[in-house]
Chains A and B, each alone.
Chain A
Amino acid sequence: MSVNSEIQAPRSARIAPEYMRNKGRKGNFEMYAWLFMRLSGLILVVLVFGHLFVNLMLGDGVHAINFGFVAGKWADPFWQVWDLAMLWLAMLHGTNGVRTIIEDYAEKDSTRFWFKMVLYVASAVIIVLGTLVIFTFDPCPANASAELLPSFCPAP
């Protein structure tokens, strides 16, 4: 029987190093993140179900959705703002949720760091591209070949 000499005397008030907490990180970030999750969740319920109701149930309902329908909505500043709010809130809400999952399940700091980097880059790309599309969408771009354009575009 080999005796392990690294076993410490009980009650030596020694704390295993992996349990030591990093001190000094002040600030309210986690509190605001927690609050944002609740508020954005509430607003998203309204935005998402409003979006589904308008797109799928009003008028001809789901049969009305086509390129022209989307083009019509994005010609209206009201729907631009609606969709922008939905995009930003959903992306930030989802990103923070996945960040939380990474914090809870990744055990090593380096694993955490890289997972979070991938997450933040992916989120940033989607938010930037989505915002760009909402504001720069043009159903009838100039100088496009006629067969690619929808029927409602004025003849060039």
Chain B
Amino acid sequence: MSTPTEIPEGPSKVELAPGVGGGGEIPSFDVTLKVRRYDPEVSAEARWDEFKVTMYGTDRVLDALHKVKWEHDGSVSFRRSCAHGVCGSDAMRINGRNRLACKTLLKDLDTSKPITVEPIKGLPVEKDLIVDMEPFFQSYREIMPFLINNGHEPTRERLQSAEDRERFDDTTKCILCAACTSSCPVFWTDGQYFGPAAIVNAHRFIFDSRDDAGDMRLEILNDKEGVWRCRTTFNCTEACPRGIQVTKAIAEVKQAVLSRSV
């Protein structure tokens, strides 16, 4: 055993201002949550309900919704599963922007005013913050979001170079939360547009070197309601909680459709 040449560093210590993180007290504040309520079993009209709750600096909008549901009004309905920004269940319109309730810290919002929480737009509301996702998933299914390979099935995994993998890396991050599609003004009009999410997931396979059905997907998206309805308003890119460059992906699919037929 050799003698160490360097004296090992001692455990690190970070000086924190009193009241911030560490062992200090977490700051708490009062917030007003203004929730869009809709219950077709009671009334065909939607309404706003306000709840005043005391929350902490480490809390997210989802925690505030939980507090409301568990302590104030058990009838408030919303979807959430993992609560950590991976499952894509709790996309909602918070202060007019599509975000995941589980990734939006209350302290980052203006807590001096009521925080508005609405269901995402463009899809039929079923109850409170829950929308019917079926039209969204139908578009997703139509672009065939699975590997299609005409070659022989290998006995081991399908190998791919790091560069080929990098080509579609950005669009593999999608969690199908519908924040992009439901932020798109073209989708709001009549819900006919395939929507950014379907195109992003088509992009993931179109540019995958192992996939052989790129042409079929391009043909599907060359539809009247396909990529050509994109007006590049960038709402989808801004809404994506995963930071996917959605509008760029759509533009790349447009280019692919063009270079295939022109």
Q: Do A and B bind each other?
A: yes
> Which residues of A approach B to under 8 Å, CB–CB?
1-4, 7, 10, 13-16, 18-19, 21, 25, 28-31, 33-35, 100, 103-107
Q: Scan B123-166; emit 1 where CB is below 8 A from any A CB, else 0.
A: 01010000010110010000000000000000000000000000
A34–B134 CB distance below 8 A: no
Q: Does B2 contact A (CB under 8 A)?
A: no
Q: Scan B214-240; emit 1 where CB is below 8 A from any A CB, else 0.
A: 000000001111101101000000000
In angstroms, Cα B134 to Cα A14, docked, is: 7
B135–A15 CB distance below 8 A: yes
In angstroms, Cα B37 to Cα A81, docked, is: 62
Q: Which residue from chain A places its CB closest to the CB of B225 in the assembled complex?
A: A21
> Which residues of B approach A to under 8 Å, CB–CB?
40-42, 124, 126, 132, 134-135, 138, 185-186, 189-192, 222-226, 228-229, 231, 254, 257-258, 261-262
A16–B189 CB distance below 8 A: no
Known: A1-B41, A31-B228, A34-B254. A19 touches B138 (CB 8 A): yes
Measured between C-beta atoms, what is the minimum distance from B261 to chain A in Å?
Answer: 6
| B189 cross-chain contacts in A, Cβ below 8 A | 104-107
B226–A4 CB distance below 8 A: no
Known: A4-B40, A31-B228. A16 touches B185 (CB 8 A): no
| A25 cross-chain contacts in B, Cβ below 8 A | 223-224
